[in-house]
Amino acid sequence: MNPVVVVHGGGASNISKDRKERVRQGIIRAATVGYNILKEGGSAVDAVEGAVTVLEDDPEFNAGCGSVLNVNGEVEMDASIMNGKDLSSGAVSAVRCIANPIKLARLVMEKTPHCFLTDQGAAKFAADMGIPEVPEKQLITERNIKHLEKEKNEKSAQKTDQQKNLGTVGAVALDSEGNVAYATSTGGIVNKMAGRVGDTPCIGSGGYADNDIGAISTTGHGESILKVNLARLTLFHREQGKTLEEAADSSLGYMKSKLKGLGGVILINTAGDWAVKWTSASMPWAAAKDGKLHSGIDLDETSIADLP
């Protein structure tokens, strides 16, 4: 089985020109790290965790040290991961002061009898597992401080702008054993209520992995994704015989027509086919397979290069 990894950097309304190249390089770096893990014999779970960790460590993305701020100016992060081999899953929500929520989600999957830990319970578990706390200011960027101020100033029109709040990172992978996995991580939506949890840590919404069907990671307006179970809905269309592209178009189209919710998906099957689709203005993505790296940000824009 030839290994494959696909990553996304979140749906976006628009990415400024000065950020675009940094975002492109970040997404390519994450895909390359994930692919190298697979080429060295690592599992699909290792690869998606590795790729998402790269994006959590990159301040250009809304996860880890680039997380947006809640109404109190704090960082609260969500993440989940799933192994398609046996459906084992791990998720965390409302976690603070750790650099890589995706690593904590994997520990929930592998070291507890549970699937999902939140807030103080997740914090205690992280401490028990030896995950170091980092100062909150280490996770806060100047850009996100300004972002929160801008959002509060515009909040007189009190409604959730589904165009703006689309940032997540994620990865799907197929390893040489034929197993698939997904991982998704986010800082949520800017100016959210404290304690708000979106789709990202919810298995079946933020992602899903099953060797019998495939693996998917989603991004977009979290409340809309939750209402349609976007990840599982897309894989349901796969089970009904649709291609990866058709399945993605069907579920994203349903979410848009039913809820005006915008988003995107990356998905993969156990034959090594992959697809990336989105209804937001753009979605940074990259896919590595057979020594080639495919990547893009805007619709109808794909570049292909040899992997180093």
Which CATH number do you get for residue 99?
3.60.20.30
Alpha-carbon distance 51 to 28, whole Å? Answer: 10
Listed residue (196, 183, 226) closest to 74, CA to CA: 196
Number of domains comprising the chain: 1
Phi, psi torsion values for 279, nearest 5 degrees: -115, -10
The band of 1, judged by pLDDT with boundaries at 50, 70 and 90, is confident
Phi, psi torsion values for 270, nearest 5 degrees: -80, 0
Q: What is the pLDDT, as a whole number, of residue 162?
A: 47
- Averaged pLDDT for residues 230-237: 98
Q: What is the pLDDT, as a whole number, of residue 15?
A: 84
Q: What is the pLDDT, as a whole number, of residue 237?
A: 98
Q: What percent of the chain has pLDDT over 90?
A: 90
| C-alpha distances out from residue 22 to 25, 29, 66, 293, Å | 5, 10, 13, 17
- Provide CB contacts within 8 A for 213, sequence distance 6+: 235, 238, 239, 269
- Averaged pLDDT for residues 21-32: 96
- Averaged pLDDT for residues 281-307: 95
The band of 11, judged by pLDDT with boundaries at 50, 70 and 90, is confident
pLDDT greater than 70 at residue 14: yes
- Averaged pLDDT for residues 57-75: 96
Q: What is the pLDDT, as a whole number, of residue 230?
A: 98
C-beta separation of 185 from 52 below 8 A: yes
Least confident range of 13-17, 45-49, 67-71, 195-199: 13-17
* Binding residue numbers for substrate: 196-199, 219-222
Domain with 55, as residue range(s), is 4-306
Q: What is the pLDDT, as a whole number, of residue 55?
A: 98
Alpha-carbon distance 6 to 213, whole Å? Answer: 16
pTM of the model: 0.96
Q: What is the pLDDT, as a whole number, of residue 18?
A: 86
Question: pLDDT for 191-228, tens place per residue?
Answer: 999 999 999 999 999 999 999 999 999 999 999 999 99
pLDDT greater than 60 at residue 128: yes
The residues annotated with a catalytic role in the active site are 168
- Averaged pLDDT for residues 268-288: 96
Q: In what order do the strands lie in the sheet with 4-8?
A: 116-118, 89-95, 77-83, 180-186, 169-174, 4-8, 282-289, 292-298, 303-306
C-beta separation of 230 from 199 below 8 A: yes
- Averaged pLDDT for residues 145-159: 78
Question: pLDDT for 104-123, tens place per residue?
Answer: 999 999 999 999 999 999 99
Which amino acid is it at 292? Answer: K
